[in-house]
Every structure is written in structure tokens, then in C-alpha cells.
């Protein structure tokens, strides 16, 4: 009976494929959209990589309102020196992650002093003659107190970027020479410990690796400085069961520089952080074309694999983080890097980085510039905020190998699910004229790794339930379809399963409710859309 049953469902499946193949051919001759059928193959024997459970991270920056790019001043009061910490959306947006890693840093961090008692605390002032276009600034301890009160209330995990240029001089060639003077950083760290504030990690410097931005520090000197910071932290946190991580260098990947730094620093730090702005300048009029081009998106894979290769060959125990990634430098591009279309780039980055063993991915920014997860003026979440939140809630630590060959504009990623059984797929359709009907196949380890479609597997192992109504407790799948309002890729409003996502009048983040579908049906991915699909009833060795 089992063989006849499987033959019946295999025949039905082939009939469905033939019907949809006919539909695809018909539409390609003049219909509104093509329909393509394909199978995502998932190898669940073992994970190919693992992320941190709190993989999602966002940044807060120092830039004052006077920071302008290409004639546009997009930062407003988003600096963590003047951000409205009482805004309820800000608090709720952070709390929704429980926890959200927040990295405090950016270009101006290497021009900041930390206010000691009785000392003046000047604000940043615009000056084109100064490095980075601003004079030295200061972090008042009263503001540091306010920030830590918010972070504790919101449940954030804080990474703070320390000034790495203190004590150095700028040589004739533009490089920064001399050893790091750690005395002011030591004051801040001791103050933080004495106040009882919890810091997840201390990061040294911002974009000083390789040729640097503004200036640079030689790899050997940077390694010596990171050892100084490690000794400082070990001393100040002596007796603590859990000590903050040491992170560095927070710069752009340069293979030779990173190789020397990681070798010389040995095991004096726990995470090597690098920055990604692979789309070029924010003023570029071709950003959307780049985002929708699979070959362009794949270009950054060399950075991920190159860094992992260096870590492996060096024998370092450090792990890789993306410490800052905003896609397009100089504050991004309004209605692109803060619009729906940017979720294609962002989620693809999250998926690709995870598959190469990246432990944490920090998005530039939580708020500020034209690439914030939150709107700089009213704090309302932009589409990427909800993309990040869905990832955080659905995608677990174990990364699975996937392949899909029907069309190259469907990007596919899969993880073991985060808080329940099964797996979660991320499907990104970069094609504006093709609907993709996705079948899911997992390898069957009991039959030499042969792949079996999930619908066949479910029917084979649960045929006694075939004639029952499928419910959430039986054979259903949770789907989260993300699309732009009115089909406009540059919309700053996103729909989840056809419903607008927006905070309520109390500033509360809306619930992210899935739609339930039968596991026996393909996953329909509409043109220019994104789908998270949680399939709870797949059991894979990689997820046990």
C-alpha cells in the first residue's frame, strides 16, 4: 500500500509541475508575469557554519547635525550624543529583539575624549581643515549614564568603540605613528565598571586598517595596542565571571594588513571586525541596479572567505564580525538605502555572511543617515527594521547548505529554526517579472544522501493523516511575505502578508504574524518579494 500511495502522490506532483510549466510558457508569451518552478535542495547532514544567537546588530554613530553629504544633511539629531532617548518607539524597537547588539562608534570616535571630573567637555564643531571635517569632541559622563540607563531598560548588548588615535601623531605620509595612549580609555572603562554598567565588548579604533580612512595605523603597532587593551580589561574586570569581548580593528578588509595584525595580536582579542560598503558612494544613481544584480551581490563573498582563511591559517581563536555595513558610503541614499529595495541587499548580506561563518552583523545604522533601520525624524521603522526582526526571531544559529538552479535571481538561504523545531528558509526574488514556485527537498541520510522533496517525505511518513484537515499543529507551514506598498521598490512602507507594518499610537512594534499554508504546497515567491518560510516538521541531523 505504501508504494502505491507514494506513486499516487508522485504522479500528482508531476501533474502539478506540468500544469505550472504550461502556465509559465503561456505567460512568457504575453502574460503579466512568468511562473517558474524550482526545488531548493537543503543539505541537513551538518551545519556549514554557526552564528551567534544574537546575530543581528545595529550601530549608533557620533555624527552631529552638521554632517552633510552631496548637499544633503541626513543625520539630524541621531548622534547618540543628542538622540532623544525618551522616544517610546526607540525603546520598543530595541526591546523587540531582546537582545539587540548595539555598536557605538564611527568615524568621529577617534576624535573623542571622555570627560573626567572637572574637565571641560567641548562639542564637535565643523572645521574643514580638521581630519574628518570636525574638531575634537567629548562624551560627557552624564550622557554616558543616560545611554546606559536606556540600554539596560531595553535589554541591549553594548559594544563601545574606543578612540585609537589618542597619543599618536600624524606623519608626513598621513599615517598615525606612535603607541596608543590608553589612559583616557582606562578612565571610561573604570567609570563604567564602578557604575555597574554592563558592556558586551570594547572595540579599538574605526577604519584605521590598511590605507585607512583619514589616517591609518601599521598592523604591528595596532597588534601591540590591542594587547594593551586586553591587559587593561583583564585587570579592571579581574574577578568578573564574564568579561567584555575585545574587538578590532573595525576597518576595511585588507588581506596583507589583516594577516599581519591577526598573527601579531595572537589571542589578545576575541573578534576581528571589518566594514562593508560594497555598493559604492551614496550619490551613485545605479544603486538599485547593483542591488538587483546577483553577480554584483556575490562580489563581497571574497571578503568573507578571505578573512575566514586568514583566521584559519593563523590558528587564531578570534571570530569574524561585520562591525559596520551600510551598503553605500557617505550616509547612503534617500529612498534607496532606507526603502524596501534595500532589504534585498541587507537580507542577502545577512545570509551570505552567515554562510561564511560570520558570528555577528552590525547594520549601519539603528538610526541616522539615509540607511537607518528607524526614520531619523519620527523614529518610525523603515522596511529593513522588520527584515532584521524577522531574521532575529526565525533564523537559528546553525546555517544549512542550500542550492537552487532554476533562476539565478532567486537567492536562497536556510537555517535551523531559532525557537522551535524544523528549518527556516529565506527566499529573495530579485526578478520583477517572475513568480517562483519553490519546492523544498532535504537530503535523506538513510538513503546515501539522496534528496527527497519535503512534500513527498511528509506524505510518505504521515500518510495516515492525509485525509485530515491540515492545522497549525499538524502539517502547516508559516510564511512571512514581504512586499513594498503599492509595488514601489522605493517605498518606505512594507507589507507583511499584505498588511502594512507600523507602530501603534503607543509606539509599540506591531506583531509579525505569519500566514499558515500546507506543507504540501510549493512556496510562492512573487516578483520583487521576500519570503521567510518556517517549516517546523522537518527533522535534520544538523538541527539536533
**C-beta of residue 532 within 8 angstroms of C-beta of residue 426:** yes
**CA-closest candidate to residue 520, choices 422, 432, 439:** 439
Say which residue the cell 571574497 belongs to.
302
**C-beta of residue 349 within 8 angstroms of C-beta of residue 301:** no
**CA-closest candidate to residue 370, choices 313, 287, 434:** 287
Provide the grid cell at 17. 509541475
Buried (b) or exposed (e) across 182-195, using 16+ Cβ within 10 A? Answer: bebbbbbbebbbee
Residue 71 region, left (φ>0) first, then alpha (ψ -120 to 50), else beta? left
Provide the grid cell at 129. 581643515
- Rounded CA separation 284/334 (Å): 11
Three-state SS string over 98-145 comes to: CCCEEEECCHHHHHEEECCCCCCCCCCCECCCCHHHECCEEECHHHHH
* 494 bridge partner residues: 484
The helix/strand/coil state of 286 is coil
Q: Is the peptide bond before 163 cis (omega within 30 degrees of 0)?
A: no
Buried (b) or exposed (e) across 199-213, using 16+ Cβ within 10 A? Answer: bbbbbbbbbbbbebb
Cα-Cα end-to-end distance for the chain: 31
Contacts of 403 (CB under 8 A, 6+ apart): 40, 41, 412
C-alpha radius of gyration, the chain, whole number: 25
- Rounded CA separation 77/63 (Å): 9
Instruction: Give the dihedral of Cα atoms 513, 518, 523, 528; nearest 10 deg.
Output: -30
Label residue 491 exposed, middle or buried (CB < 10 Å: 0-12, 13-18, 19+): middle
- Rounded CA separation 201/523 (Å): 40
Q: What is the DSSP letter of 167?
A: T
Active-site residues, by number, are 207, 324
**C-beta of residue 454 within 8 angstroms of C-beta of residue 535:** yes
**CA-closest candidate to residue 250, choices 406, 400, 105:** 105
Say which residue the cell 574628518 belongs to.
132
Say which residue the cell 518610525 belongs to.
380
> How does strand 450-453 pair with strand 434-444?
antiparallel
Helix intervals (H) in 164-293: 183-194, 219-236, 255-265, 287-291
Amino acid at each position: 500500500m505504501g508504494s502505491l500511495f507514494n506513486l499516487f502522490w508522485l504522479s500528482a506532483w508531476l501533474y502539478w509541475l506540468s500544469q505550472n510549466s504550461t502556465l509559465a510558457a503561456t505567460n512568457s508569451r504575453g502574460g503579466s508575469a512568468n511562473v517558474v518552478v524550482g526545488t531548493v535542495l537543503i543539505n541537513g547532514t551538518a551545519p556549514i557554519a554557526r552564528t551567534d544567537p544574537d546575530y543581528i546588530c545595529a550601530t549608533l554613530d557620533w555624527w552631529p547635525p552638521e554632517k552633510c553629504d552631496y548637499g544633503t544633511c541626513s543625520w539630524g539629531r541621531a548622534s547618540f550624543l543628542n538622540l532623544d532617548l525618551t522616544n517610546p518607539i526607540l525603546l520598543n524597537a530595541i526591546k523587540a529583539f531582546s537582545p539587540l547588539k548595539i555598536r557605538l562608534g564611527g568615524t568621529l570616535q577617534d576624535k573623542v575624549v571622555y570627560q573626567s571630573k572637572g574637565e571641560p567637555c567641548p562639542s564637535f564643531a565643523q572645521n574643514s581643515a580638521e581630519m574628518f571635517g570636525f574638531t575634537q569632541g567629548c562624551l560627557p559622563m552624564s550622557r554616558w549614564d543616560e545611554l546606559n540607563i536606556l540600554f539596560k531598560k531595553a535589554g541591549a548588548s553594548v559594544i563601545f568603540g574606543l578612540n585609537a588615535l589618542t597619543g599618536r601623531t600624524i606623519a608626513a605620509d598621513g599615517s598615525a605613528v606612535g603607541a596608543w595612549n590608553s589612559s583616557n580609555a582606562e578612565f571610561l572603562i573604570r567609570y563604567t565598571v564602578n557604575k555597574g554598567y554592563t558592556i558586551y565588548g570594547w572595540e579599538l579604533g574605526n577604519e584605521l586598517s590598511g590605507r585607512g580612512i583619514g589616517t591609518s595605523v601599521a598592523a604591528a603597532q595596532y597588534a601591540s595596542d590591542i594587547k594593551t587593551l586586553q591587559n587593561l580589561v583583564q585587570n579592571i574586570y579581574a574577578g568578573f565571571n564574564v568579561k567584555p569581548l575585545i574587538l578590532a580593528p573595525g576597518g576595511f578588509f585588507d588581506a596583507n594588513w589583516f594577516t599581519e595584525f591577526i598573527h601579531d595580536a595572537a589571542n589578545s582579542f576575541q573578534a576581528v571586525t571589518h566594514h562593508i560598503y560594497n555598493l559604492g558612494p551614496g550619490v551613485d544613481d545605479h544603486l538599485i541596479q547593483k542591488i538587483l544584480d546577483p553577480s554584483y551581490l556575490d562580489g563581497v563573498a571574497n571578503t568573507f572567505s578571505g578573512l575566514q582563511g586568514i583566521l584559519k591559517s593563523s590558528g587564531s581563536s578570534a571570530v569574524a564580525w561585520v562591525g559596520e555595513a551600510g551598503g553605500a558610503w557617505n550616509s547612503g541614499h534617500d529612498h534607496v538605502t532606507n526603502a524596501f529595495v534595500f532589504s534585498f541587499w541587507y537580507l542577502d548580506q545577512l545570509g551570505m555572511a552567515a554562510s561564511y561563518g560570520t558570528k555577528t552583523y552590525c547594520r549601519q545604522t539603528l538610526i541616522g543617515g539615509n540607511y537607518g533601520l528607524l526614520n531619523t525624524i519620527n523614529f518610525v521603522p523603515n522596511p529593513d527594521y522588520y527584515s532584521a526582526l524577522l531574521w532575529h526571531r526565525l533564523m537559528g544559529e546553525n546555517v544549512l547548505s542550500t542550492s537552487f538552479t532554476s533562476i539565478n535571481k532567486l537567492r536562497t538561504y536556510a537555517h535551523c529554526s531559532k525557537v522551535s523545531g524544523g528549518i527556516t528558509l529565506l527566499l529573495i526574488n530579485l526578478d520583477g517579472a517572475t513568480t517562483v514556485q519553490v519546492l523544498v527537498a532535504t537530503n535523506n541520510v538513510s538513503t546515501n544522501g539522496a534528496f527527497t522533496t519535503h512534500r513527498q517525505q511528509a506524505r510518505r511518513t504521515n500518510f495516515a493523516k492525509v485525509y485530515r484537515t491540515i492545522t497549525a499543529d499538524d502539517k502547516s507551514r508559516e510564511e512571512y511575505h514581504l512586499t513594498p506598498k503599492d509595488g514601489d521598490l522605493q517605498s518606505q512602507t512594507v507589507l507583511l502578508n499584505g498588511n502594512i507594518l507600523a507602530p501603534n499610537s503607543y509606539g509599540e512594534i506591531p506583531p509579525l504574524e505569519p500566514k499558515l499554508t500546507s506543507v504540501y504546497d510549493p512556496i510562492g515567491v512573487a516578483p520583487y518579494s521576500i519570503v521567510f518560510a518556517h517549516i517546523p516538521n522537518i527533522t535534520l541531523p544538523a538541527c539536533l
